[in-house]
C-alpha cells in the first residue's frame, strides 16, 4: 500500500514536470541579438538577388521591439540610419542590464530543458548562445545613452509608435510577434502589423513559431486580415534555423 502511494505521488510529480513550459518567462523579456543574426533572420545581405538591404545611402530602418540587441548600434556605426523602439528604453542602462541577468537564468534553463527542439548547427551550443547575448548587451549598453540622445533608441510600444506615416523604408520585428503568441493575442498582432505598415514601406517578421516550438496559430489569421486591408504578404525562406522548422520570415508590404 505504501509503495503504491509512493508510486502514485511520483507519477503526479512527473506529470506536473512534463506539463510545465520549458520557457517560464512570465511575459516578453529582454534578450538581444547581434547584427549577424539579424542578417540571417531577415535575409538582409541579399534579398532575391537584389543586393544588400542595409546600406548607408538607403532610407531609415526600424527595429521594432529591439530590446538589448546590438543591431542598431552596429548598423549605425556603418552609417545606416536606424531607430530601435522598445518600452524598456525608458529605463537606464543599469536597470536593463539587471533585467537581462534575470532573463538569462530563465533562458538558459529553458534551452537546457528544450534542447531537442533546437537545431544547434548555427550556434553550436547553449553556451555560445549565451555568449552572443552578452556580446549584444555590451554593444547595446555602450551605445545606449549616446544613441538615445540622438533618437536612435525610442521608448515606445506596439501598436502605438510615435512616427509619421511612411518614415521608414523597412521595419524589422525579431523575436516578438508570433514568438510570444501566448502572451500577445491575435488582435494585438493585427494591430501591431497595421502600425508597422503605417510607418514603414515593408515589414519583416521572424520567427513565426511560438516559444513552445510550434508554428504560431495567429499567423494564418494575421495574413488574412492583412490581405483584407490591402496588404500583400509572403512567407520567405531565410538562411537560419534555430527552432527546428522555423526557417521562414513573414514579409508584408502594401501593393
Please write the tens of the pLDDT for every residue from 78-111.
999 999 999 999 999 999 999 888 888 888 888 8
Residues of the chain falling short of pLDDT 50: 1-20, 47-51
Q: How is domain 21-254 classified at the CATH fold level?
A: Rossmann fold (3.40.50)
| The three cell numbers locating residue 223 | 495574413
Q: DSSP string covering 185-253, please?
A: -HHHHHHHHHHHHHHBSEEEEE--B-TTSSB-TTHHHHHHHHHHTTEEEEEEE-S--SBTT--EEEEEE
Mapped onto helix, strand or coil, the DSSP state of residue 111 is helix
For the chain, give every domain's residue range. Answer: 21-254
Please write the tens of the pLDDT for every residue from 150-179.
999 999 999 999 999 999 999 999 999 999
Mean pLDDT (the chain) is 86
Amino acid at each position: 500500500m505504501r509503495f503504491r502511494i509512493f508510486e502514485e505521488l511520483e507519477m503526479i510529480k512527473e506529470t506536473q514536470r512534463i506539463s510545465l513550459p520549458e520557457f517560464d518567462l512570465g511575459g516578453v523579456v529582454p534578450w538581444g541579438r547581434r547584427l549577424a543574426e539579424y542578417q540571417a533572420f531577415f535575409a538582409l545581405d541579399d534579398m532575391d538577388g537584389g543586393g544588400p538591404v542595409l546600406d548607408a545611402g538607403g532610407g531609415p530602418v526600424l527595429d521594432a521591439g529591439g530590446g538589448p540587441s546590438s543591431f542598431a548600434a552596429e548598423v549605425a556605426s556603418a552609417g545606416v540610419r536606424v531607430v530601435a523602439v522598445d518600452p524598456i528604453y525608458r529605463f537606464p542602462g543599469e536597470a536593463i542590464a539587471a533585467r537581462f541577468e534575470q532573463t538569462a537564468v530563465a533562458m538558459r534553463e529553458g534551452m537546457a530543458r528544450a534542447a531537442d527542439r533546437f537545431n544547434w548547427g548555427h550556434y553550436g551550443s547553449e553556451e555560445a548562445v549565451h555568449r552572443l547575448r552578452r556580446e549584444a548587451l555590451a554593444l547595446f549598453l555602450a551605445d545606449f545613452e549616446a544613441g538615445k540622445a540622438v533618437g536612435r533608441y525610442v521608448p515606445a510600444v506596439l501598436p502605438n509608435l510615435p512616427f509619421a506615416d511612411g518614415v521608414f523604408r523597412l521595419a524589422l520585428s525579431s523575436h516578438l510577434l508570433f514568438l510570444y503568441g501566448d502572451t500577445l493575442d491575435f488582435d494585438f498582432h493585427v494591430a501591431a502589423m497595421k502600425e508597422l505598415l503605417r510607418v514603414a514601406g515593408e515589414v519583416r517578421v521572424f520567427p513565426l513559431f511560438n516559444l513552445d516550438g510550434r508554428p504560431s496559430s495567429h499567423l494564418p489569421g494575421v495574413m488574412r486580415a492583412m490581405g483584407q486591408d490591402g496588404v500583400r504578404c509572403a512567407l520567405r525562406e531565410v538562411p537560419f534555423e534555430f527552432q527546428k522548422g522555423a526557417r521562414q520570415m513573414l514579409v508584408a508590404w502594401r501593393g
